[in-house]
Copies of this chain bind each other. A is one copy, B any other.
Amino acid sequence: MKFKKSKAQWVYGFGGGHADGNAGLKELLGGKGANLAEMSNLGLSVPPGFTISTEVCVHYYANGRAYPETLKREVQKALSRVEKIAGGKFGHRKKPLLLSVRSGAQASMPGMMDTVLNIGLNDENVERLGELSKDRRFAWDSYRRFLQMYGDVVLDVPHYLFEDILELYKTEHGLNLDTDLAAEDWQAIAGAYKARIEQELGVPFPQDPEAQLWGAIGAVFDSWMNQRAITYRRLHDIPEDWGTAVTVQAMVFGNMGEDCATGVAFTRNPATGEKDFYGEFLVNAQGEDVVAGIRTPQPMTERARLQAGSSAPSMETTMPEVYAELCDMRDRLESHFRDMQDIEFTVQRKKLWVLQTRNGKRTMSAALKIAVDMTEEGLITHEEAIRRIDPAALDQMLHPTLDPDAEQTVLASGLPASPGAATGRIVFTAAEAETEAARGASVILVRVETSPEDIHGMHAAAGILTTRGGLTSHAAVVARGMGRPCVSGAGDIRINEEAGEMRIGDCVLKRGDVLTIDGAKGNVLLGEVPMRQPELSGDFAIVMDWADRVRRLGVRANAETPQDAEVARRFGAEGIGLCRTEHMFFEGSRILAVREMILADGTEARRAALAKLLPMQRDDFVEIFRAMAGLPVTIRLLDPPLHEFLPKTDAEMQDLAAKLGFDAGEVKVRIERLHEMNPMLGHRGCRLGITYPEIYEMQARAIFEAVVALAEKTGEAVVPEIMIPLVTSRKEFDFLKELIERVAGEVLSAEGEKLAYQIGTMIELPRAALRAAEIAKSAEFFSFGTNDLTQTTFGISRDDAGGFLKSYLEKKLIEKDPFATLDIDGVGELVRIAVERGRAARGDLHLGICGEHGGDPASIAFCEEIGLDYVSCSPYRVPIARLAAAHAALKKA
């Protein structure tokens, strides 16, 4: 905890125009509590309440789930204040005040933790509530809701038991919809619920409001450690020790009749970023009804209604006065919080109450538009605009969308819940989605609706399709947050999970069939549909331009083909940081020559095979140099062990022997001789260049001849940076440097040209990092190969880590997958050591990173901190790296 208080204060009141806290106290009060306090201070109509701070949560878990001593007293005091403002009395027979208890952590964790509403109701005061509200049905409905929610959340009575009772009652009485049930029906059901709870627990449902309140508070604190919440925190990098706050608030009711409503609104469109008032509401409903997606909600504005072609009347026309009030609130909140807000509100008998405001989740294109618009509106600065864009989330902008010119067979339509398009095989459960994705398959998760239990599977899926729920349903909110395309509420689709199939009219699709969804339009399409590269213009280009002006780190791409190189350039790469020459070896016509080279008997035969490869490699380099004209290209000499290029089965070996005119038995023997126990630590990298210098000679020759050829054709000078992989000492490096320089001399004297080039190395083994001072005396640049450096520093083979890394993450033995985000404490220390020693030995040593961490924002921040010159990542991650580099520069400044 960063803040200090002279005296412990566990409870913070709000409401009635002022509050103990404010928006700055998110760490202490959670996002929800802090913003409720802030809104109270602003004088907005917030139901009064109080927030039990996150410190209580920390205390709770540090002390075997016990509360601080003074908590009870503070809660009583805060509750008295709420009663005073709200004008009721908690647990009172005559003037019962009902309460809600909600979680609220520093970061939003929608749906992950528990909520209990209508606390304070009991057999004694339920009828009185009916009298006061003049709505007996409402009172008994509220009571049965309370019994069900409290029973499920606090008392652990499975919720299907309640549902069974309700269904049975409906069947027995020939009733269909909930709205068909009268007060007496709800009363009977409430009785049945209570009986069932007593049967399950052996004790009656707690009638004492005080006991109810503390039960609910405890349940919310406990839900901080439920499996859903733990998984969510892991996926979103939320530290466990933050804890959650608990907000206790006077209830207001959107379900007290036709002049009541509840809704969710965004101050700007969260899908597009456009500046219009966007949202949904339901008349005579509780807030949970909107989010759960059970009833299809109504639009806020007429414009939205017309756009959606909906017949449900908008709030603008239904409740014009409340709508005007809401518009005013929207303006005040956005200009106060200086960001797009996601507002929850309730209308109780025409009175507008705001229950929550928070920065609204939005799609990446909306985020870009809002950031650019708000900058132009003068609301935020350029730097704030940059900071508002999460580099990791930019990913969703950088993936293909459907080609509008392609033929599309639209099977069904739903809501455009999260933009982007995805093609994949149909799966019907989250578990299936995970399994198939782990096998490398792209899958579309198809569900009636999603729940927090599904987030694993949603994360694993390429896209999500639901048959129920609106734009603010669970599926929609979570998919947008994850950057997964999502179509929600595609009501024409019928799912039969057991049969493993879904029907759309007459069309039956089975588990494993291929489907495409277009999250931008809300369409479900048959089979695979051609995609198109994203347009990286408009707001995107503006923000990237701002980011480029701020960042210090260069951004290059890892690319082996002219196509990759072109994509990289288009995405703003400033050069190639890693061109893996072996990728050129796998291509159809070459692999035979490569295999001939590997199986050659002696140096002369190997040279003969290499001579065949030379013109092919040279042409590759010519093409890449041309694509990157004017920009640096770092070329890594052959790295993988030779057996990777060889066939595995006897049949393939025989085929190869026939093609090469070799003896089949001999080919098999030679291939077997190349087998390695641990290829990752085997005969690869510069070890190949040292044992078979002729291979690196050929590659060096191809590079230099390509430079000369291109210079002759185009007059453009390329400065190749030749990178020697897997070095552990200066001696190894020098041996090969000498070889490369000799070849350069030969090519030059043959061509009579003058040639500039650099020779450097990858730092990808612990020993290389430790010996950086020596190596830098010879090497002109270092590129950190953090994939292999992570493997060797941890002693973990990435190929084999599946068996235990998951267990490590679950048991919290590591915070993040070290292959995704650089392990700063271990691997990072070696990188830091190498930077310090390398620079001390050679002041102008050029330093970059080319492992996959080069495209990871957290790792990029580390690269900025230690002063690397550039990062290199996959072409599609270049924009992410550019933005992350800007963030890192702003953070450092």
Q: Interface size for chain A: under 10, 10 to 19, 20 to 34, or 35 or more residues?
A: 35 or more
Contacts A680-B677, A800-B681 known; A690 to B792 CB distance under 8 Å? no
Task: Return the CB mask of A783-799 against B: 1 if under 8 Å, else 0.
Answer: 00000100111111101
Q: Contact at B795–A765, with CB atoms within 8 Å?
A: yes
- Bound-state CA distance A827–B768 (Å) is 11
Binds B, one of A136-144, A331-339, A460-468, A727-735: A727-735
Residues of chain B within 8 A (CB-CB) of A679 are 677-678, 800
Tell me, yes or no, whether A803 is within 8 Å of chain B by CB: yes
Tell me which of B682, B795, B829 contacts A800 (CB under 8 A).
B682
Q: Contact at B799–A677, with CB atoms within 8 Å?
A: yes
Contacts A792-B793, A813-B732 known; A770 to B830 CB distance under 8 Å? yes
This protein's copies in its complex: 2
Q: Contact at B729–A814, with CB atoms within 8 Å?
A: yes
- Bound-state CA distance A804–B674 (Å) is 12
Interface residues of A in 443-459 (CB under 8 A from B): none
- Bound-state CA distance A809–B799 (Å) is 31
- Bound-state CA distance A764–B829 (Å) is 17
Tell me, yes or no, whether A469 is within 8 Å of chain B by CB: no
Q: Contact at B680–A681, with CB atoms within 8 Å?
A: yes
Tell me, yes or no, whether A808 is within 8 Å of chain B by CB: yes
Minimum C-beta distance from A644 to chain B (A): 11
Q: Contact at B765–A811, with CB atoms within 8 Å?
A: no
Q: Contact at A800–B677, with CB atoms within 8 Å?
A: yes
- Bound-state CA distance A729–B771 (Å) is 24
- Bound-state CA distance A811–B796 (Å) is 31
Minimum C-beta distance from A571 to chain B (A): 32
Q: Contact at A804–B691, with CB atoms within 8 Å?
A: yes
Tell me, yes or no, whether A839 is within 8 Å of chain B by CB: no
Tell me, yes or no, whether A812 is within 8 Å of chain B by CB: yes
Tell me, yes or no, whether A726 is within 8 Å of chain B by CB: yes
- By beta carbon, the residue of chain B nearest A828 is B770
Tell me, yes or no, whether A204 is within 8 Å of chain B by CB: no
Minimum C-beta distance from A791 to chain B (A): 6
Q: Contact at B811–A676, with CB atoms within 8 Å?
A: no
- Bound-state CA distance A56–B783 (Å) is 43
Q: Contact at A807–B691, with CB atoms within 8 Å?
A: yes
Minimum C-beta distance from A665 to chain B (A): 20
Tell me, yes or no, whether A30 is within 8 Å of chain B by CB: no
Tell me which of B732, B770, B799 contacts A826 (CB under 8 A).
B770
Residues of chain B within 8 A (CB-CB) of A682 are 797, 800, 803
Q: Contact at B678–A800, with CB atoms within 8 Å?
A: yes
Tell me, yes or no, whether A767 is within 8 Å of chain B by CB: yes
Contacts A804-B690, A807-B691, A812-B731 known; A827 to B794 CB distance under 8 Å? no
- Bound-state CA distance A811–B813 (Å) is 44
Q: Contact at A690–B807, with CB atoms within 8 Å?
A: yes
Minimum C-beta distance from A646 to chain B (A): 15
Minimum C-beta distance from A377 to chain B (A): 47
Q: Contact at A830–B799, with CB atoms within 8 Å?
A: no
Q: Contact at A690–B813, with CB atoms within 8 Å?
A: yes
Tell me, yes or no, whether A687 is within 8 Å of chain B by CB: yes
Contacts A690-B808, A813-B735 known; A766 to B830 CB distance under 8 Å? yes
Residues of chain B within 8 A (CB-CB) of A676 are 797, 799-800
Residues of chain B within 8 A (CB-CB) of A194 are none
Tell me, yes or no, whether A825 is within 8 Å of chain B by CB: yes
Minimum C-beta distance from A489 to chain B (A): 41
Interface residues of A in 660-681 (CB under 8 A from B): 676-681
Contacts A678-B680, A681-B796, A795-B681 known; A811 to B690 CB distance under 8 Å? yes
Contacts A792-B793, A795-B765 known; A804 to B678 CB distance under 8 Å? no
Residues of chain B within 8 A (CB-CB) of A771 are 825-826
- By beta carbon, the residue of chain B nearest A683 is B803
- By beta carbon, the residue of chain B nearest A826 is B767
Q: Contact at A767–B794, with CB atoms within 8 Å?
A: yes
Residues of chain B within 8 A (CB-CB) of A791 are 681
Minimum C-beta distance from A333 to chain B (A): 43
- Bound-state CA distance A829–B731 (Å) is 18
- Bound-state CA distance A808–B687 (Å) is 9
- Bound-state CA distance A690–B827 (Å) is 22
Which of A766, A791, A803, A827 has most chain B Cβ within 10 Å?
Answer: A766
Residues of chain B within 8 A (CB-CB) of A792 are 681, 766, 792-793, 795
- Bound-state CA distance A830–B808 (Å) is 25
Residues of chain B within 8 A (CB-CB) of A691 are 803-804, 807
Q: Contact at B795–A728, with CB atoms within 8 Å?
A: yes
Minimum C-beta distance from A740 to chain B (A): 16
- By beta carbon, the residue of chain B nearest A825 is B771
Residues of chain B within 8 A (CB-CB) of A732 are 808, 813
Task: Return the CB mask of A283-310 against B: 1 if under 8 Å, else 0.
Answer: 0000000000000000000000000000
Interface residues of A in 465-502 (CB under 8 A from B): none
- By beta carbon, the residue of chain B nearest A735 is B813
- By beta carbon, the residue of chain B nearest A767 is B826
Minimum C-beta distance from A348 to chain B (A): 50
Minimum C-beta distance from A735 to chain B (A): 6
- Bound-state CA distance A826–B173 (Å) is 82
Residues of chain B within 8 A (CB-CB) of A731 are 812-814
Residues of chain B within 8 A (CB-CB) of A770 are 793, 825-826, 829-830
Interface residues of A in 732-784 (CB under 8 A from B): 732, 735, 764-767, 770-771
Minimum C-beta distance from A153 to chain B (A): 31
- By beta carbon, the residue of chain B nearest A688 is B804
Tell me which of B678, B827, B830 contacts A681 (CB under 8 A).
B678
- Bound-state CA distance A813–B678 (Å) is 22
Minimum C-beta distance from A777 to chain B (A): 14
Residues of chain B within 8 A (CB-CB) of A827 are 767
Task: Return the CB mask of A393-414 against B: 1 if under 8 Å, else 0.
Answer: 0000000000000000000000
- Bound-state CA distance A332–B680 (Å) is 62
Q: Contact at A729–B813, with CB atoms within 8 Å?
A: yes
Minimum C-beta distance from A647 to chain B (A): 18
- Bound-state CA distance A681–B804 (Å) is 12
Q: Contact at A728–B794, with CB atoms within 8 Å?
A: yes
- Bound-state CA distance A788–B796 (Å) is 12
User: Would you mind naming 27 contact pairs between A and B with Cβ atoms under 8 Å apart?
Assistant: A677-B680, A677-B797, A678-B679, A678-B797, A680-B681, A680-B797, A681-B792, A681-B795, A681-B796, A681-B800, A690-B807, A690-B808, A690-B813, A691-B803, A728-B794, A729-B814, A731-B812, A731-B814, A735-B811, A765-B794, A765-B795, A766-B766, A767-B793, A770-B826, A770-B829, A771-B825, A771-B826
Given A676-B797, A792-B793, list of 15 further CB < 8 A pairs? A677-B800, A678-B797, A680-B681, A681-B796, A687-B803, A687-B804, A691-B803, A691-B804, A726-B795, A728-B826, A729-B814, A731-B812, A765-B793, A766-B766, A766-B792
Q: Which 8 A-B pairs have the closest CB atoms?
A: A681-B797, A678-B797, A767-B826, A677-B799, A682-B800, A765-B795, A766-B766, A683-B803
